Chain A
Amino acid sequence: MSTQEKVKINKLPTGVPGLDEIVGGGLPEFSFNIIAGAPGSGKTTLAHQFVFANASAERPALYFTVLGESAIKMLRYQQQYTFFDPAKLPDSIRFINLSQVVLEKDLGAVLEEITREVEKANPAVVVVDSFRTLVRKPQSDMDLQSFIQRLALFLASWQATTFLIGEYAEEELRDNPIFTVADGLFWLRQTAERNSIVRKLQIIKLRGQDSVPGLHTFRITDAGVQAFSRTFGLTARKRNPPGDRRLSFGVPELDEMLDGGVREGDSVLVAGSSGTGKSVLATQFIAEGINQGEPGIVAVFEERPEAYAERATSLGLDLETPQKDGKLTILYLRPLDLSVDETMQSILDAVEKIGAKRLVIDSLAGFEMALSPGFRADFRESLYRMIFALTGIGVTILSTVEVDESFTEFPFSTYSISFLTDDIIRLRYVSIDGQLRKIMVVIKMRGGNHAKDIREYEITSKGVVILGKRLTEYQGLISGVPVHSDRSDSKEEPSQGPGTGKKR
């Protein structure tokens, strides 16, 4: 049989933002799925979103409630979500309560009742919430596995896409024969880590198509469940081959040190201790991009966007106008309890919205602090995924990171994330001639011939300004405590005020 003769499986929208990407483009039509998880993990909400996204008057959805939650209360709460469209009831979505059948009869009667309703309504979607309560009924004439098998067979024949919702604990996942019947198995987890709630979903199984493996974080908001794919929805995108175009920092001497500027699509790390001008350099980078017609995003975690823009104004850089013109977005991402993927999704959405070419993350320490403690362990891995995804579509990323100033060592980053970056620019204080001055050096530049010079710079009203040529008269500059190359000839210069620098 040729590939052209293979049956095509239609993919249905899940109605859950981010989940289509995770399941490989949508849920396979006519599939028989189980949503499992502990109470309160979002199973019913997820099923409702799928129902509202797919039910129509011609092919309605039947939502069978069994025991457990009162249907009236369920509808009372579910209608608070924005996806809940009351106009779809009752023509497109019908809620049918089976509790009496379950209480008074057996599983066979439940199956008969479902069969009767399905044959009557010809539904596109069937949900049984919660099927797990059925198994707790003693003395059934049919065991649950047999019930599930017959139900799956029947509903597949009736061309219905089905969700069974069940409360399951983690340890019940193994060797459970019921799960073998299902085409799709969605596992929702909710754990408390320190003071935060961490929600994750996993597609344990999905027949017929490639789903994104692993645990994906999700959040329940007034819009319902929103999932954050580990691939950030960028798997389908074609990666741009690395180009030769160089992006200017707006600091000519630094561009020169970088052999003409940062290579487009690179990830740049600017590392330095507090006050060394990391944010100033980042602001110049983004402002220069806007001057060059390249929209930008600044993700800030330690100060408000207004304050960030005001500080730029004091450097003679206008970040207000491009924000109004839609060329710049300053994202303030400070609420606690964020997951890494959720934060990154906000950044990606902003990048996509304005077609950003440059992204500044200021700073990685602030980013990590904004996360729920439970997600901090994933920080490096998630950062890697985001950088890989964004640089792959041609976005140039500049991240700032604070490093502890040491006068014996020269660390690039306390986060051990150097491997995530193509280029590293290190800023640091040095003690020279009785003054605390600043030096800059390009540590690394992947695929480029960067300068090896150590340059002194100052932060002035025009931003970072590199002074003179490389510092040749000192040894041990990167230790922070250099000595003059020819101490015998040196004479201590008189003390100079801040910002005056040394004449060259």
Chain B
Amino acid sequence: MTTHPKTRDLAHRLLAYEAVVGKTSEPSESATFRVYEKLRQGLGEFAGVAGFQSLASRALVLAKTEAPSLSAVRVAADGSLHGLGEFEHQMDIDRDRAGESPAGQGGVILIARLLGLLLIFLGESLTLSLLRIKWPEAALNDCNSENGRSA
């Protein structure tokens, strides 16, 4: 069970957007961290801390099956992501070697899993509406909803 290509593409776009923005604002933070934190803030507002924490935990478990490099990462009780530093450090090395996505495959998979769960529970329209709160500038259209079980 892997993430839908469209969902991965959406994750890619958010990570790419934050990679560019992050270079000027908080260059010390990784794109994955920035995207995750924005999702935590945005979703936490209406789903609550516990609501977001359970969703993020599920996304991480699913992501680890695809990206074992995330094994050290964990979701804390307040929904924040821990252990991302070590993962990001290794990922930066790998990324530089391969010339890949600004977040590497693990970051894309984690964010895509989280978005996939949102698409399953809320559908495309509502998910994109929620994402636009935190990314009003980003182009987020044309994301086909999975609406199924393939998170």
Which A residues have a C-beta under 8 Å from some C-beta of B?
65, 70-73, 75-76, 79, 86-87, 89-90, 94-100
When A71-B46, A72-B55, A97-B47 are in contact, do A79 and B132 touch as well, CB less than 8 Å? no
- A65 and B46 contact, CB distance less than 8 A: yes
The 23 sampled A-B contact pairs (Cβ below 8 Å) are A70-B47, A71-B47, A72-B47, A72-B51, A72-B55, A73-B121, A75-B121, A76-B122, A76-B123, A79-B122, A79-B125, A86-B125, A86-B126, A95-B45, A95-B46, A96-B46, A97-B44, A97-B46, A97-B47, A97-B48, A97-B51, A99-B49, A99-B51
For the complex, what is the distance from the CA of A136 to the CA of B123, rounded to whole Å? 33
For the complex, what is the distance from the CA of A115 to the CA of B49, rounded to whole Å? 20
For the complex, what is the distance from the CA of A87 to the CA of B124, rounded to whole Å? 12
Secondary structure at the B interface, as helix, strand, loop or mixed, is helix
**Residues of the A chain whose Cβ atoms lie less than 8 Å from the Cβ of B46:** 65, 71, 75, 94-97
The residue from B50, B126, B132 contacting A99, defined by CB atoms under 8 A apart: B50
For the complex, what is the distance from the CA of A98 to the CA of B45, rounded to whole Å? 8
Interface set, chain B 27-73, CB cutoff 8 A to A: 44-51, 55
- A86 and B48 contact, CB distance less than 8 A: no
C-beta contact mask, B74-106 vs A, less than 8 Å → 1, else 0? 000000000000000000000000000000000
Interface centre among A65, A72, A98, A100 (most CB of B within 10 A): A72
When A65-B46, A71-B47, A97-B51 are in contact, do A90 and B132 touch as well, CB less than 8 Å? yes
- B50 and A72 contact, CB distance less than 8 A: no
Closest to B46 in A: A95
- A75 and B122 contact, CB distance less than 8 A: yes
Minimum C-beta distance from A297 to chain B (A):
39
- Inter-chain pairs besides A75-B46, A79-B125, A100-B49, 17 sampled, C-beta below 8 Å: A65-B46, A70-B51, A71-B51, A72-B47, A75-B121, A76-B121, A79-B122, A86-B125, A87-B125, A87-B129, A89-B129, A90-B129, A90-B132, A97-B44, A98-B48, A99-B49, A100-B50
The residue from B45, B49, B55, B126 contacting A75, defined by CB atoms under 8 A apart: B126
- A97 and B45 contact, CB distance less than 8 A: yes
Judged by a CB distance under 8 angstroms, whether B143 is at the interface is: no
- A72 and B121 contact, CB distance less than 8 A: yes
**Residues of the B chain whose Cβ atoms lie less than 8 Å from the Cβ of A86:** 123, 125-126, 129
C-beta contact mask, B108-151 vs A, less than 8 Å → 1, else 0? 00000000000001110110011011000000000000000000
**Residues of the B chain whose Cβ atoms lie less than 8 Å from the Cβ of A90:** 129-130, 132-133
Closest to A80 in B: B123
**Residues of the A chain whose Cβ atoms lie less than 8 Å from the Cβ of B132:** 90
- A79 and B121 contact, CB distance less than 8 A: no
For the complex, what is the distance from the CA of A348 to the CA of B123, rounded to whole Å? 37
Minimum C-beta distance from B141 to chain A (A):
13
For the complex, what is the distance from the CA of A283 to the CA of B5, rounded to whole Å? 62
**Residues of the B chain whose Cβ atoms lie less than 8 Å from the Cβ of A100:** 48-50
**Residues of the B chain whose Cβ atoms lie less than 8 Å from the Cβ of A70:** 47, 51
For the complex, what is the distance from the CA of A76 to the CA of B132, rounded to whole Å? 18
- A71 and B48 contact, CB distance less than 8 A: yes
When A96-B45, A97-B46, A100-B48 are in contact, do A89 and B55 touch as well, CB less than 8 Å? no
For the complex, what is the distance from the CA of A73 to the CA of B121, rounded to whole Å? 7
For the complex, what is the distance from the CA of A90 to the CA of B130, rounded to whole Å? 7
Minimum C-beta distance from A84 to chain B (A):
9
**Residues of the A chain whose Cβ atoms lie less than 8 Å from the Cβ of B49:** 99-100
- B48 and A89 contact, CB distance less than 8 A: no
Minimum C-beta distance from B124 to chain A (A):
9
When A86-B129, A90-B130, A100-B50 are in contact, do A72 and B122 touch as well, CB less than 8 Å? yes
- A89 and B126 contact, CB distance less than 8 A: yes
**Residues of the A chain whose Cβ atoms lie less than 8 Å from the Cβ of B129:** 86-87, 89-90
Interface centre among A76, A79, A90 (most CB of B within 10 A): A90
For the complex, what is the distance from the CA of A71 to the CA of B46, rounded to whole Å? 6
Minimum C-beta distance from A80 to chain B (A):
10
For the complex, what is the distance from the CA of A419 to the CA of B31, rounded to whole Å? 78
Closest to B128 in A: A86
Closest to A104 in B: B49
Interface centre among B48, B50, B122 (most CB of A within 10 A): B48
**Residues of the A chain whose Cβ atoms lie less than 8 Å from the Cβ of B133:** 90
Minimum C-beta distance from A104 to chain B (A):
9
Minimum C-beta distance from A176 to chain B (A):
28
**Residues of the B chain whose Cβ atoms lie less than 8 Å from the Cβ of A99:** 48-51
Q: Which 9 A-B pairs have the closest CB atoms?
A: A97-B48, A95-B46, A86-B125, A99-B48, A89-B129, A100-B49, A71-B47, A86-B126, A90-B133
- B51 and A89 contact, CB distance less than 8 A: no
Minimum C-beta distance from A78 to chain B (A):
10
Minimum C-beta distance from A301 to chain B (A):
40
Minimum C-beta distance from A436 to chain B (A):
65
**Residues of the A chain whose Cβ atoms lie less than 8 Å from the Cβ of B51:** 70-72, 97, 99
Minimum C-beta distance from B127 to chain A (A):
9
Minimum C-beta distance from B44 to chain A (A):
7
For the complex, what is the distance from the CA of A98 to the CA of B132, rounded to whole Å? 22
Minimum C-beta distance from B6 to chain A (A):
18
For the complex, what is the distance from the CA of A97 to the CA of B47, rounded to whole Å? 6
**Residues of the B chain whose Cβ atoms lie less than 8 Å from the Cβ of A76:** 121-123
